[in-house]
Amino acid sequence: MSSFPAPARAMVDAMQAAAADDPVRAVAFAGAPGANSHRAALEMVRDCLPLPCFSFEDAIDAVKAGRAGAAAIPIENSQNGRVADIHFLLPESGLKIVAEHFLRINHALMALGPGPFEAAYSHPQALGQSRRFLRERGIVPLSYADTAGAAAHVAERGAPDLAAIAPPLAADLYGLRIVEHDVEDAADNTTRFLLLARDPLPPAAIGEPAVTTFVFEVKNVPAALYKALGGFATNGVNMTKLESYQSGASFSATMFYADIIGAPGDAAVDRALEELAFHCKELRMLGTYPQERARG
């Protein structure tokens, strides 16, 4: 799928052609050139060939089809929570997490002119991260597929009362004027990215400390979650994330997404996971990878 605005298409075509010539080095990301995911791909794999894709699904499909060696996907933001759809897409993708990266996010308000502005386009995450800024100025938030694509869209529309919230690089790429820098509501605005690949990291490449990510569904019995998680406490395994989400329209099957510190092969981790599996209808391992930032 390719629905990039006209100002982005030449860059997208050139980057896609370069990636096609050397797909092993390609790192797929969702968004137009200049998006935060573009930055994350370059920081996670320094010598990669960034491969812009229109959506998260397209980026994941590029890896599954062999058009890219990996994909850089945002999973959660410190200010606006988890990224929509990722908890569903990741387990079903069949890909493995091989790295994490924490990216400091700076947004800018950009447009063709100085304003005033009736509306601003951006990805829903960026709009949520700039909610107070927009409300105070009476600017209507309008959702777009990605931040840099929103900047290209504003350039294509040519309307002086429309703006975009995007990384500052997008203004340079699409000929927009930065009206205001640092429009995110929190000074420490950070997004955690995951690097996905077809194959898991070999144990020797992981090192310590490691993070292991998995999803599970407990059996439908009283206190099942309490029992399932008890093994992590009794074995001294630190669980740093536990989130629930609904699977299916019946609202009767709750899935849980979890991160722990440690790796399979560690005796304590193995005992905790064995106890978890006993109380689960489903347990799916998504990857073990080096911890980039210590969990407090």
Map out the domains of the chain as residue ranges: 6-105+189-197, 108-180, 203-290
- Candidates 147, 191, 213, 288; catalytic one: 191
Q: Tell me whether residue 56 is one of the annotated catalytic residues.
A: no
Give the count of alpha carbons within 13 A of 101, CB side only.
24
In the numeric block, the tokens 């100002």 are attached to: 7
Name the class of domain 108-180.
alpha beta
Q: What is the pLDDT along the chain (296 residues), one digit of tens a residue?
A: 458 999 999 999 999 999 999 999 999 999 999 999 999 999 999 999 999 999 999 999 999 999 999 999 999 999 888 886 788 899 999 999 999 999 999 999 999 999 999 999 999 999 999 999 999 999 999 999 999 999 999 999 999 999 999 999 999 999 999 999 999 999 899 999 999 999 999 998 998 899 999 999 999 888 999 999 999 999 999 999 999 988 765 556 689 999 999 999 999 999 999 999 999 999 999 999 999 999 86
Q: Tell me whether residue 191 is one of the annotated catalytic residues.
A: yes
CATH among 3.40.190.10, 3.30.420.40, 3.90.320.10, 1.10.3720.10 for 6-105+189-197: 3.40.190.10
Q: Tell me the CATH number for domain 203-290.
A: 3.30.70.260
What is the C-alpha separation between 89 and 56, in angstroms, rounded? 8
186 with 79: CB under 8 angstroms? Answer: yes
Nearest to 27 by CA among 65, 64, 68, 82: 68
- Candidates 56, 193, 214, 256; catalytic one: 193
Q: pTM of this prediction?
A: 0.93
Would you say the CATH fold of 108-180 matches that of 6-105+189-197?
A: yes
